[in-house]
Structure 1
Amino acid sequence: MSEQNIPLAGVIGSPVAHSKSPQIHRHWLSTMGLKGHYVPMNVSQDDLKTVLQTLPKAGFVGVNITIPHKVAVLELADLVTDRAILIGAANTLIFRQDGKIHADNTDGYGFIKNLQNAPGGWDAQAGPAALFGAGGAARAVIAALLDAGVPEVLIANRTRVRAEALRSDFGKRLRVFDWVQAGNMLDHAATVVNTTSLGMIGQPPLRVPLDGLQKGAMVTDIVYAPLKTKLLEVAEEAGCRTVDGLGMLLHQAVPGFERWFGARPTVDSATRAAALR
């Protein structure tokens, strides 16, 4: 293979130095013996369009997109998947050979795969899902939960109007609770999800009463710093099954890697270790 044909990919954001994606993709490239490179790129909003037009000419086959560009890239893409349109954001771009930019969102895919790969698996139809937060991550998670067959999503956000907007977009399988009543969602929830940054290192704690957690419920937090948040600690003590947020990050990376480098990677303990280096 000639040097100019080695596929290049990367992650675009601002800031981007904190991203674990380079560690994940480089691990897969190395362990699978594939030629390719994956690099972080700090790109401002003003330069985003120019950079996306230039990268394919430099040998790039695609990129991941992170904050703050996940919404803006929808306007710059030539083709957008249905799920990216529904979520209103894209995290994976494929630079096609015909010159078109293809935008997708694999966050929801990664979220569901993380639950399904938990010991004992996950039953979407076991009962309602309770969800904290109504931001961009919540949209991806809600779309994935409904698509997987969860009968109802109960949602609470500190600003109720944002949760109401989600109900307007996703329909009557969403039920909105006031933030002060968020703990009441847990009484019948088979799945509990925190999509907020509350409980993350450097952020305020998630101050929601958790005494309603049901034994055997699946509880997950999309935060992965710390790996075991207070929510997951309390859930374990209550006899719940728990899944940390790192798995979502790992699984969402799989479809992009496969499209860019031509082989499907496996998410395993070595992948987790590589991300945590």
Structure 2
Amino acid sequence: MKHTLYPWDRGFTLRSWREEDSHAMADLHRRSIFASGEDHYTKEQQESWAHGLTANGYTECAKDGEVYIVAVDETDTPIAFCGYKNSEICGLYVDPAHQGRDIGRRLLFRAFINISQIKPDKITLSASAPAKTFYEKYGYKSVGERTYKTRGGIGINVYDMETDQIKYSDQLGPHNGRELSLMLAGQKRVAFFDELNPVEAFEPHISEGKICCHNFPEISQDLYDLIKIRESQLMSFDTAALYYLPGEEARMLELKAALLELTQRNTRERFFQLHRRVGKLLDYPDEAINYYIERRRQRLEEKHG
């Protein structure tokens, strides 16, 4: 099976787990354990860590509530995966042949935006010694070191890590992290996500017909072009999407049109009119819209006068 990849995918895409992925996941999981050599763990420790990895293990964890996000190449072959449960990152593994391609960061951020939908105070994880610096790079801090008994019975040192306390604003982006719960409660009719898209959190409700989804690659192309101009090193990111309640397709399409117009050249007056309309269509309260517009106005005045 071939995937159509966008430029911002950078040669891979993320999708939700399927049971048939499990054999490939076990293989890449095993290879990633041995990839760091013996800088952190002995050969015996690595073999104990990799002991007992089977395809069925991922199926059993999924039944127990772990959610997997899988990175696949254009042939739909898994090349990395990340698992999370509630507010914990349970594991992240990248095939050694595909490391250094921004896959780990994108998986970690995708897990973060999904977990954020339950509004946790913090996100936690346990990192192996080789992975510790990777997580530190993205804001996770070690809160303790301990010995973890691997599947083969031999202990390895691991680090319990967590984010700082996550702050949620009632003024700027007041629905951030609450889009799903608000939509299920009927208090929000449309939600928009650009480079970070909580696909896994929304998928069960889409399959039940409670929420609809419209992928929005046009805005992703604009974002990609902007990053390509400004950044020396391009990052990969998810395709933008609009989620909407059944019966709200007209509202979703109006929001899509406003967002597309915002990517074009506008007078300053029209620019703020569009932002106000976007806020209204997203069901933001007036005080939050006014706060956001005032902040944008101040920034524009500081930049251009």
Tell me if TM exceeds 0.5.
no
TM-score of the superposed pair, with normalisation by structure 1 = 0.25
TM-score of the superposed pair, with normalisation by structure 2 = 0.24
Higher CA-based Rg: 2
